[in-house]
Structure 1
Amino acid sequence: MPPDSRSQHRFGYLPVMVLVVLFLVGVTVYAVSVLREPEEKRRDPAACTATVNGASYSLPPARAEVAALISGISVRRGMPARAASIAVATAIQESSLRNLDYGDDAGPDSRGLFQQRPSQGWGSEDQVMDPVYAVNAFYDALEKVPNYAELPLTVAAQTVQRSAFPEAYADHEAEAKAFASALTGQSPAALTCTLDPPTASGSPDAVLAAMTAVYGSVDATVEGDRITVAGTDAYGWSLAQWAVANAAALSLDSVAFDEQRWTRAGGTWAAAPSSGNAVVVTVFRMMDQS
């Protein structure tokens, strides 16, 4: 007798059914493993985000620190926020906001945040590798550009840099403007950072030293783990958002200003009791495990 065709079909389906079952088992095992994975391993990558006029841009914390340095020095010098936008966009293009110890296509001796060349009169190699020096050198040159704040960003940046790719600066204008607006204090509570848990205690003295390196002398008091810095309006918001941008490096736990408070645990600004005309920065302290 010929074989039963129905039996052939039934047995022909078995390999497919086995594969389907194995696939479903695999999906289930993966889902359970993800759900059981510790929360800290499933966090989004640490990032700082500037949100201005409904548009958001993110940077890794180490690069947000550089944007904060550039913007804070413009505040110290009394320059308009436009200067910070030009400088941040330039540093994004030249170094991706990194203090590079090597040159690129601009020249073999290019160094630092802006790829400044000692052979072109920017200073010694050690000087251009000092971020504070490099930023001030950039601003010294920018201030000599007539009406720089009214020029297209790429024109102002190119007048300072004399780059082989002058139009490239414009590619970073929107991102630079958002970070500069937040970090110069023009846009309050616009910079947030979502960070990994700290691995070390913070130091109020280290916070104060870093802040004064950018802003110069500040009116500050230290009490325990808390630093209180006098500041109002845009200046206060610049200080506050500089602190948030540096929270990873300085092991900060919270920053408060103008009835708003950023916390490392939450990663965002939220309503809080008024701190008066002062920015209040609290460092993180590791629990004593002894």
Structure 2
Amino acid sequence: MAERGRPRRGCLAGLALAVVVFAVTVVAVVLALRVFTATDSGTGRCTAPLEDETLGLAPDQADNAALMGAVALRRELPARAVTIAIATAMQESRLRNIDYGDRDSVGLFQQRPSQGWGTVEEIMDPVYSTNAFYDVLVTVEGWESAEVTDAAQDVQRSAFPDAYAQHESRGRAFASSLTGYSTGALVCRLDPAADGGGSAAGALDTVSDRLARDFVDIGLQRAEDHLLVDATTLPAGLDDAPARRGWALAQWAVATAEATGVSVVATDGQAWVRDDGAEAGWAPVGDSDLPESVARALQQAGPGAVVIA
């Protein structure tokens, strides 16, 4: 009888282990879905709509997507380039600037020094790596009309050439907002800024530095408690619509707000207010709780103006 008992105990132990592994796997999948879909109404996530669905990113991912949008605008590349870049980086690094990967791959796009992409230090600079990606993308014949996964593969030469397609919808949703074609669309729901408010001088310093990094040369005026940014100083790209460029810059400011600490972004009569937390969204300036100076600055500014506070 004892000999028969041992296998039974082993089976029970194996079953218990399998249950534990399954439970851990379910928890991991749920957490991953919360990070990468981010469609609920809590704080700590950014969303953008596409047709009948809403796609999400964690704030640090949205921050990197915003850089890709800014670099494309500065280079006068169409929204399609941003879609391809975001989808590629989602597959390669989950849109995070990681310092590890397969063999010597590093960075947002998992570019390899051994394949001529640059040094590790260069590739770990997200501005450099994004420009390097676009440098190759624009040499691909017919990339503007190619399937996203085909264009990405022509740049990346991945061992999994079809994997990029799964991220196309998320790429399109955020690219449309970050290039200003979708207006009042990209929303981040965040906890209050750590310093108690994005109007602090430190936050304005940070966002000014980020504007210079991502857009290089852009017109702005600094007041005591806000920045007035002239989005019409951005390259016009495919058209000369000031409001579109204003929305592109405003939604960039929202996507980067977790890192910069800003609390208010306003353009085209609409405002996003960080302190609204889980209820944050774009609303008419008259319905938003804005500092008087911000509302006045926006009212007096011309088309394409963005107020950041």
Q: TM-score w.r.t. structure 1 length?
A: 0.79
User: Residue by residue, what CA displacement relative to the aligned partner does 1:234-272 show, whole Å, maximum 9, x if unpaired?
Assistant: 211111001001111111110000011000022110011
User: Residue by residue, what CA displacement relative to the aligned partner does 1:102-147 show, whole Å, maximum 9, x if unpaired?
Assistant: 122xxx1100000000000000110000000000000000000012
The yes-or-no answer on 1:271 pairing with 2:266 is no
- Deviation of 1:45 (Å): 4.1
Paired residues of 1:52 and 1:187 also in contact (CA < 8 A): no
- Deviation of 1:54 (Å): 3.2
1:149 is paired with a residue of what secondary structure?
coil
d(CA) in 1 for partners of 2:243 and 2:156?
33
Letter in 2 for 1:208: S
Match for residue 169 of structure 1 among 164, 172, 177: 164
d(CA) in 2 for partners of 1:87 and 1:210?
20
d(CA) in 2 for partners of 1:159 and 1:52?
26
The yes-or-no answer on 1:261 pairing with 2:261 is no
d(CA) in 1 for partners of 2:221 and 2:133?
32
d(CA) in 2 for partners of 1:249 and 1:164?
34
The yes-or-no answer on 1:69 pairing with 2:67 is yes
> Residues 212, 54 of structure 1: CA spacing in aligned structure 2 closer, same or farther, 3 A cutoff?
farther
1:166 is paired with a residue of what secondary structure?
coil
Match for residue 115 of structure 1 among 110, 118, 121: 110
Letter in 2 for 1:236: G
User: Residue by residue, what CA displacement relative to the aligned partner does 1:153-175 show, whole Å, maximum 9, x if unpaired?
Assistant: 00000000000001000000001
1:154 is paired with a residue of what secondary structure?
helix
d(CA) in 1 for partners of 2:135 and 2:65?
18
2:127 is paired with a residue of what secondary structure?
helix
1:49 is paired with a residue of what secondary structure?
strand
Structure 1 residue runs without a partner (length 5+): 1-42, 283-290
RMSD: 1.3
Paired residues of 2:107 and 2:123 also in contact (CA < 8 A): yes
2:183 is paired with a residue of what secondary structure?
coil
d(CA) in 2 for partners of 1:233 and 1:54?
24
- Deviation of 1:205 (Å): 2.1
More moved, 160-169 vs 54-63: 54-63
d(CA) in 2 for partners of 1:215 and 1:148?
24
d(CA) in 1 for partners of 2:51 and 2:42?
24
d(CA) in 1 for partners of 2:203 and 2:263?
11
d(CA) in 1 for partners of 2:178 and 2:87?
14
Segments of 4+ in structure 1 off by > 4 A? none
Match for residue 238 of structure 1 among 231, 248, 265: 248
More moved, 196-205 vs 61-70: 196-205
Letter in 2 for 1:51: P
Paired residues of 2:204 and 2:262 also in contact (CA < 8 A): no
1:217 is paired with a residue of what secondary structure?
coil
User: Residue by residue, what CA displacement relative to the aligned partner does 1:54-106 show, whole Å, maximum 9, x if unpaired?
Assistant: 321111111100110111111110000000000000000000011110122xx
| 1:18-29 equivalent positions in 2, closer than 5 A | none
Paired residues of 2:46 and 2:57 also in contact (CA < 8 A): yes
Letter in 1 for 2:139: K
- In the other structure, the counterpart of 2:308 is 281
Q: TM-score w.r.t. structure 2 length?
A: 0.74
1:86 is paired with a residue of what secondary structure?
helix
- Deviation of 1:196 (Å): 1.0
- In the other structure, the counterpart of 1:197 is 192
Point out the structure with max Rg over C-alpha. Answer: 1
Give the fraction of aligned pairs with identical amino acids, expressed as a percent: 48
